[in-house]
Amino acid sequence: MLTVVSGRILVVDDDPNWGLIVKKILTRSGNEVVTVETGDDALKTMENEGFDIVIVDILLPDILGIDLIPRIKAAYPHTAVYVLSGHTDSYSAANALQQGAERYIDKSIEPAALQEMVARTLERRRLMRSLRVERSRYEQLVSNAPIGVFVIDTITMKFTFMNRFLLDLTGYAQDEVIGQSPSEFVVAEDREMLLTKLRARIKGRSLPSGEKTTYRFTKKDGTVIDLLVETHVVEGSGERFIEGTARDVTAEARLFQLRQIVLDLGQQILSSRDIDHILQSVLDAITQYSGFQRAVVSLYDLSVANPQEGMVYKILASGLSKEDLALMNAGGGMTIEQRNLAFDEKFRLGDAYYIPHDRTPWRSEVGLQGTVTIDGWHPDDFLFIPLRGA
C-alpha cells in the first residue's frame, strides 16, 4: 500500500489554464502547488523556495524545457523533474530522460495517474531523505565513536578513511594517512604479518571474520603504542572494502608484561639464596618497567635496637651512574635525621611514605636530581618503602 505523502510542487507552463488544472489535481492530495510561466521565473522561485518536484512544459517562451532540466538538476540534485508535452515524442522523451528528467508525460494523462505518479515520487524522496539522515547519523557516530575506526580499499590496500578518535590517538592528520598503506605505520617487525593478514582477509580465506590481532603502531611523535585490530570485509552496492576497529591496549600489554616480570622475579626469589641478587633484580625491574628511573635500597643492621637509627651497612641501586653511586656510598646513605624526617606520619601513604617535591623536609640540594616520569608526579618527588627482613 502506497503511503500518502504530500509535497511542494512547482509547475512551469506558459499556459496559465493548464497550470491551474495541474494545481487543482495535485492539491486534492494535500500537495502545495506553485505555478510560473517562464524558465527564468522558475529558477528565481527555486532560489527562495524548496520544491520536491518541478513539472516543466517542453516549450517555454524563454527556454526549451529540456534545456532547463540540467540547470535545475545542477543546483538542486535531489529535486525530481517531470517534462510535460502536448504530444508523445519518443525522441524528446529519450532526450528529456537523458538530461535528468524522471518522467516524460503527455498532457492528456488521467488525473488519477498523475496523482499516483507524484505520490510515488514523493514517497521515494521521503525514503531517500530518511536514508540520507540515517547515513549522516551513522557517519557522525563512526566519526565520533570512542574507538578507532578505519576503512581500507581492497584493491590498493590503502586507507580511505580514519575516524577522529584514531587520528587524535595517533597524532596524524586525515591527509597524512588517506592513500597510505597501513604497513607504513607499524613497526618493521609487524609489517609482513599485517600485509599477510590483509591479503588473506581480502581473499576470504584463513581468517575468521572478526579475528583480533595486536600491532605495534608508530604515532606521529615517534612513540609506539599497541593497537588491537579487528577487521571485516564489507560488500554491497558494487563496493568492496575492509572496515576495521582499533583499540589502544598499550596499558593492558604493559600490565601483562609487568605481571610476567613479577612472576619471573618470584621464581628468582624462590630459587636464589643470595639476598643481594634478589634485591638487585627487584631494583632493576623497578627502573626498567616503571616511571622510577632511579631506585635505591639501604640495608640496616636489625640487631640495633632501632634499626632506623643504625648505620647503613650496604647500599644497592639501579639507574644511577657510577659517579652518582660513588657519591651516595661516600655519604653513607641517608642520615638518621633525614630518615626520621622522611618516615614522619604526615607523609604516610598506606605502607609507604610519599614526599612531594615542594614538601621535602631537607634542603633542595640534598640528594640527586630527580628523574621520575609517572603521570601526575614531579621528577623530584620521593617514595620510601620500608621493608623488614627476618
Are 240 and 227 found together in one domain? yes
- What is the per-residue pLDDT for 58? 86
Are 43 and 131 found together in one domain? yes
Query: Between vectors from CA 69 to CA 66 and to CA 73, what angle results, nearest 5°?
Result: 165
**111: domain range?**
8-141
Share of the chain above pLDDT 70, in %: 81
Among 44-53, 193-202, 335-344, the range with the most confident prediction by mean pLDDT is 44-53
- What is the per-residue pLDDT for 206? 47
Q: Is residue 371 part of a domain?
A: yes
Q: Is residue 55 part of a domain?
A: yes
pLDDT in tens, 366-387: 666 666 666 667 777 888 877 6
- C-alpha span between 133 and 128 (Å, rounded): 9
Are 23 and 137 found together in one domain? yes
* 112 against 264, higher pLDDT: 112
- C-alpha span between 329 and 308 (Å, rounded): 18
Give the pairing type, strands 53-57 and 8-12: parallel
Residue at a domain's end among 141, 170, 192: 141
pLDDT in tens, 149-167: 898 998 899 999 888 889 9
Average pLDDT over residues 330-350: 81
pLDDT in tens, 282-294: 888 778 777 778 8
- What is the per-residue pLDDT for 1? 45
Are 117 and 170 found together in one domain? no
- The set of cell numbers assigned to 24 is 487543482
107-123 exposure pattern, b = at least 16 Cβ within 10 A, e = fewer: beeeeeebbebbbebbe
Are 108 and 181 found together in one domain? no
> In 10 A of CB 93, how many CB atoms?
18
Q: Is residue 276 part of a domain?
A: no
Residue at a domain's end among 141, 169, 192: 141
The CATH number given to whatever domain includes residue 45 is: 3.40.50.2300
Give the pairing type, strands 224-236 and 32-36: unpaired
- C-alpha span between 226 and 205 (Å, rounded): 25
Whether 85 and 106 have beta carbons less than 8 Å apart is answered as yes
Q: Which of 358, 354, 338 is nearest to 346 (CA)?
A: 354
pLDDT in tens, 31-41: 999 999 999 99
The CATH number given to whatever domain includes residue 175 is: 3.30.450.20
Is a pLDDT exceeding 80 seen at residue 223? yes
Q: Is residue 32 part of a domain?
A: yes
Q: Is residue 370 part of a domain?
A: yes
Is a pLDDT exceeding 70 seen at residue 209? no
Average pLDDT over residues 216-243: 87
- What is the per-residue pLDDT for 27? 92
Q: Is residue 260 part of a domain?
A: no
Domain total in the chain: 3
Is a pLDDT exceeding 90 seen at residue 180? yes
- What is the per-residue pLDDT for 89? 63
Average pLDDT over residues 4-23: 88
Are 16 and 132 found together in one domain? yes
pLDDT in tens, 300-334: 776 777 767 777 778 888 888 888 888 777 776 77
Average pLDDT, the chain: 82
Q: Is residue 2 part of a domain?
A: no
Are 18 and 76 found together in one domain? yes
- C-alpha span between 351 and 385 (Å, rounded): 7
Q: Is residue 390 part of a domain?
A: no
Average pLDDT over residues 140-153: 78
234 pLDDT tier (thresholds 50, 70, 90): confident
Is a pLDDT exceeding 50 seen at residue 207? no
Are 244 and 344 found together in one domain? no
What DSSP state is assigned to residue 368? P
- The set of cell numbers assigned to 286 is 623497578
pTM over 0.95: no
- What is the per-residue pLDDT for 179? 92
pLDDT in tens, 81-128: 998 887 666 667 777 888 888 888 888 889 999 999 999 889 888 877
Are 131 and 216 found together in one domain? no
* 339 against 10, higher pLDDT: 10
Are 243 and 319 found together in one domain? no
Are 198 and 319 found together in one domain? no
Residue at a domain's end among 98, 118, 141: 141
Are 20 and 131 found together in one domain? yes
What DSSP state is assigned to residue 179? T
